[in-house]
Structure 1
Amino acid sequence: MLNITIDGQTTQVPTGSAILDAASQLGVKIPTLCHLEMEEKCNQQTAACRVCVVEVEGRRNLAPACATPVMEGMIVKTDTERVHAARKTVVDLMLSDHPLDCLTCEQAGRCALQDLCYQYDLEQTSFPGQRNDFPIDTTNKFYSRNLNKCVACRRCVVICQNFQNTNAIGFGDRGFSTHPVAPFDRGMDESTCVSCGNCVSLCPTGALLPKSKEKFRSWEVSKVATTCSYCGVGCQMTLLTKDNKVVGVEPANGPSNDGLLCVKGKFAFNFINHPDRLTSPLIKKDGQFVEASWEEAYDLIIDKVKTVKSEYGSEALAGLSSARVTNEENYLFQKLVRAGFGTNSVDHCARL
């Protein structure tokens, strides 16, 4: 364990921890843009944004808190005039090449750059000049890319290369024109993108946005923690709801998905709002399906199973479960079929 003092508070952290980890342990807030709070070991901090710079006693230059390892006895200051001035300049430079359409931007209210501008009292840039004019890429079926709003934080590239292992994008050009690119700087439809949407979830600005059917603001939605029902992995996620309708999905940091989702979990949620979705059991009466209570449905199932078993024997029965339910539910189902029905004819569609 290593001892470190941050803004007069002392704590101990494991060897290999960054200053940002120690600050988080102490409850000291350090702003970031490029940092990913992911548990995977392949997350190597890029220190691309330089918003998290701090003063370290004995060092001449400011150090990025996310990528500077803690040393024994290190003394750090995060709230000095020099630190504030440096952070403000960094944000100011980002703003110099960023569209100021916050009133109509879909990311308004949840934009990290907008929050930093508010924190450091920036209403307009001090460095007016040339701006990039990238064409908006709408070739992907699920999201659009407006690289004019990109701040080169590298989150999308890191998540695509190190976590998703898709390598659909990297950084191209140099200097002022540096931006995330698909191979040969073509549209995302010609890349190896699998449309997982993790880059969209992690983008701190409005550069990457889902093609939502519903328009909403961040303050208009309620958040509901749930488990993805598309397969048995059990990915944790958060549903965004407005007017009793699901309008979006955000990944949650669960033990099975580590803050990631696939294309189904991220984008395939509109079935929830479909008017044809079954919300109660249906029983066929006189050739027509009619709604029934769960008690009626269970009674009918029990009666039919008993009838078939008594007339044709246990081997006339079989059970088919779904890969969408949990392992525990599948275990209980096979136990019901084997012990209750008296047959080993049980299976499930193990598709992920």
Structure 2
Amino acid sequence: FLIKQETTECFQLKASNFVLTYFPPKRRNRNKVKEMALRPKTLRDFFSPRPHPESHPPPKRLRASSSDSDGLSDQEKSRIEFQKLVANAKRNLKLCSDRVEQASGKLPPNLEDLLVEDSWLEALPGELHKPYATTLSNFLQAESRASAAVHIYPPPQLIFNALNSTPFDNLKAVILGQDPYHGPGQAMGLSFSVPEGVKIPSSLLNIFKELKQDLGCSVPSHGNLEKWAVQGVLLLNAVLTVRNHQANSHAKKGWEQFTDAVIKTISQKKEGVVFLLWGNSAQEKRRLIDESKHHILKAAHPSGLSAHRGFFGCRHFSRTNQLLEKMGIDPIDWQL
């Protein structure tokens, strides 16, 4: 091969059977063109593709064995990212707690004051200002003032804990529940989850049993599912509040319309989300999900009455991870 500068405007690559003339873009500074002419050239200079300015690489699955130029392995990067998500959830909880404290420990008059995760506020613009949300807020205010014997669970700062703990941008999977636990200290705003130190309910214990059978996860000593939430598992109840000791007492007061809007928004604005629908109530929400864009896994409810009718053996946890990995998304670490 012979590389020859014909003029300051072009170069020629000559071989025995072809001649290729290269014209640098006219916008380039001629001094730079001269510098390029003086630099030894290879075929790569003439045939390397130029990157498209708008192209974005697809998400990559982290591998523990690889490392980048900064010296951090992907496992270390994953741990750092997880810590950032935990810090974000704690920040949101602190902000909610401060707003409740400003309201003298009571429910703020505007429900949107308790939804503080920016990504969800952007995804659900104005949803909590609609007439049904105003009616719902008025109902909750009346409930909180009904009598000293009436308590609303979870406490105000945890009503939107599912959304505040799982940013819309980080959403990978959704586990739908019905309404919060109605015993003292149980509800924490995440479906099926209870705080550490609280007895694990039977439904959650059955979930842990299936996890052990499916992935070999050891059964934890607590029922706090926050680790799942910050990894991108939205633990969403259809109804977000309940009166103490009265299951379904806040059903059909407006919460269903809000949580349906959440599911519709996920369906419309996201792709590849895995929905775990356990039981008839959760499976009724299937109509809100675009199955051409998302994945739906169905099974019986994990309650003691129905777990043996199809929940045990459903392998939803490993199947969720398989679906995520096929899309190049990091799997969920289900071990608590």
TM-score band w.r.t. shorter chain:
under 0.3
State the structure with bigger RCO (CA 8 A, min sep 6), 1 or 2. Answer: 2
Q: Compute the TM-score of the two structures, normalised by the length of structure 1.
A: 0.23
Compare CA radii of gyration and give the structure with the larger one. Answer: 2
Q: Compute the TM-score of the two structures, normalised by the length of structure 2.
A: 0.23
Give the structure with the higher percent strand: 1
Give the structure with the higher percent helix: 2
